[in-house]
């Protein structure tokens, strides 16, 4: 039997210094750059007129500041399950440097030593999905790129280790109207869209450095 689920909007935080350098930014609490703050304000225009029953944000300042500048700081609830992936020993490192040591390393398959596994991030995402499925009305989430990809996968009933190799980008809207188990490939493709990033038109695709 089908159920009507809320529309979930995913907003990735604005630019930080490590966004520019390409370093893995997990729990390091970096502020937005000046450009990141300017661009975060653009979300207010893009979301103007949309009513949300609930707004949630990661507690990290890059997410909370983006949320505030987008106009939702007064109503947003902090949710620690929306924290970015804990990269452990790979925090602050470049993917290219990690691949010199582990040429076949893949975040969504292998996780990070001293940090989180895909299963552990998926468990957090599952808790968020469970809470959101009961909301009556649209929902807006502010978080980080890699966590949002896991959240999107789990919302669609895909494994947390699904790394986008089959074409999944972070969707800006997840609005299924049927049980997750009944999704076809066509259903999943129809839900792929642009992420609500402060940078106009940016799309998050596999193996890029814009996380």
Assess contact for 203 and 194: CB atoms under 8 A: yes
Task: Give the pLDDT band (50/70/90) at residue 162.
Answer: low
User: For the segment 5-20, what is each residue's pLDDT rounded down to a tens digit?
Assistant: 788 888 889 889 999 9
Cα 30 versus chain centre, distance: 17
The residues annotated as belonging to the active site are: 13, 84
Highest mean pLDDT (candidates 8-22, 87-101, 167-181, 186-200): 87-101
pTM score over 0.85: no
* Residue 37 CB burial class (10 angstroms; 0-12, 13-18, ≥19): middle
Predicted local distance difference test score (pLDDT) of residue 47: 83
Predicted local distance difference test score (pLDDT) of residue 152: 84
User: For the segment 86-141, what is each residue's pLDDT rounded down to a tens digit?
Assistant: 999 999 999 999 999 999 999 999 999 999 999 999 999 999 999 988 899 888 99
Predicted local distance difference test score (pLDDT) of residue 204: 34
Encode 75-128 in three state secondary structure. CCEECHHHCCCCCHHHCCCCHHHHHHHCCCCCHHHHCCCCCCCHHHHHHHHHHH
The yes-or-no verdict on residue 205 having pLDDT over 80 is no
User: For the segment 102-112, what is each residue's pLDDT rounded down to a tens digit?
Assistant: 999 999 999 99
Classified as helix, coil or strand, 34 is helix
């Amino acid at each position: 039997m089908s159920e009507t689920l809320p529309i979930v909007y995913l907003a990735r935080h604005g630019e930080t210094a490590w966004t520019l350098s390409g370093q893995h930014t997990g729990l390091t609490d970096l502020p937005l750059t000046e450009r990141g703050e300017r661009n975060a304000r653009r979300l207010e225009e893009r979301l103007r007129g949309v009513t949300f029953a609930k707004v949630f944000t990661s507690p990290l300042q890059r997410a909370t500041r983006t949320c505030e500048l987008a106009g939702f700081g007064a109503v947003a609830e902090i949710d620690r399950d929306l924290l970015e992936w804990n990269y452990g020993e790979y925090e602050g490192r470049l993917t290219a440097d990690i691949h010199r040591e582990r040429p076949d390393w893949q975040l969504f398959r292998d996780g990070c030593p001293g940090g989180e596994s895909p299963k552990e991030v998926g468990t957090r995402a599952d808790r968020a999905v469970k809470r959101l499925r009961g909301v009556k009305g649209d929902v807006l989430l502010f978080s980080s790129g890699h966590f949002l990809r896991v959240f999107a996968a789990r919302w669609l009933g895909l494994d947390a280790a699904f790394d986008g190799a089959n074409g999944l980008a972070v969707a800006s809207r997840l609005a299924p109207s049927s049980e997750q188990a009944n999704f076809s490939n066509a259903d999943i493709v129809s839900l792929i869209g642009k992420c609500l990033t402060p940078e106009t038109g940016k799309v998050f695709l596999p193996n890029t450095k814009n996380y």
